[in-house]
Amino acid sequence: MGSRLALDDGVYLRNSVQTAAKILVVGHFAVGKTTFIGTMSEIPPLRTEEVMTQAGQGIDDPKGAPGKTTTTVAMDFGRLTLSEKLVLYLFGTPGQQRFVQVWEDMTRGALGALVLVDPERLEESFPVMDLVEHYGIPYAIAVNRFDGTPAHSLDEIREALDLLPETPVVSCDARDQRSSADSLIALVRYLQSRLN
């Protein structure tokens, strides 16, 4: 390895790729964003970090010290080359209100967002849904089914989340590639329908 930074060929994009698109995978802490991205990505998921200077007011960061004025926000992301010319990036975005700087950077140019929700902790998804709506990002809901999760019907979940009738709600297993791909497909179909 030494100090050389040039990496294996598989790390780089094909030279023919012309366009990069971005979809956000958002949700509350530990809902399965990183799992989803790991399942779908063609490269080992990467992490970017930004140091936030604003005072934190959240209470859910297990490592955060209260009253700290700087905090590091980590975002995991993955990559999916979809054709000779197109690459899709999936960015996992933390759902806390205090990360507005990150959100501004993330949402710029995003096609849409997949909001992962845990059916047992639906109320924890409200802040992140507020953020997505605030930034005007069209979204679909993917209900991440954990082992042994009692099956709330998707209609019950739709009602509990107070969604617009057209917002897609799909069931998904973030560990399963086919299932995760299906939820992305549902999102993209919805995004298409909004343009018609």
Partner 1 sequence: MTTDDEHEPELTHEAAELVRPYVITNGRDLLDDDRFSLITLVTVAAEPPRTMPLDPEKLRLLELCSGGFLSIAEIAGHTRLPVGVVKILVSDLTQEGYLYSRAPIPSAQLVDRQILEEVLNGLQARFG
Q: Does 55 bind partner 1 (CB under 8 A)?
A: no
Q: Does 54 bind partner 1 (CB under 8 A)?
A: no
Contact 114, 31 (CB under 8 A): no
Q: Does 174 bind partner 1 (CB under 8 A)?
A: no
Candidates 9, 123, 147, 166: give the one binding partner 1 (CB under 8 A). Answer: 9
**Part in contact with partner 1 (CB under 8 A); list of ranges 60-68, 114-122, 129-137, 182-190:** 182-190
Nearer to partner 1, 43 or 154 (CB): 43
Angle 154-159-162 from CA coordinates, rounded to 5°? 125
Q: What are the angstrom distances between the C-alpha of 61 and each of 15, 27, 94, 96, 116?
A: 40, 14, 11, 10, 19
Number of residues that bind partner 1 (CB under 8 A): 51
HSE, CB side, 13 Å, CA atoms: give it for residue 88: 18
Residues 6+ positions from 3 with CB-CB distance below 8 Å = none
Residue 114 β-bridge partners: 25, 140
Residue 27's H or E segment, with its range, is strand 19-27
Q: Does 108 bind partner 1 (CB under 8 A)?
A: yes
Q: How far is the CB of 174 from partner 1 (least distance, A)?
A: 14
Nearer to partner 1, 2 or 150 (CB): 2
Which residues of the shown chain bind partner 1 in the complex (CB under 8 A)?
4-7, 9, 11-15, 17-23, 43, 46-51, 77, 79-80, 82-83, 85-89, 91, 105-106, 108-109, 111, 177-178, 181-182, 184-185, 188-189, 191-192, 195
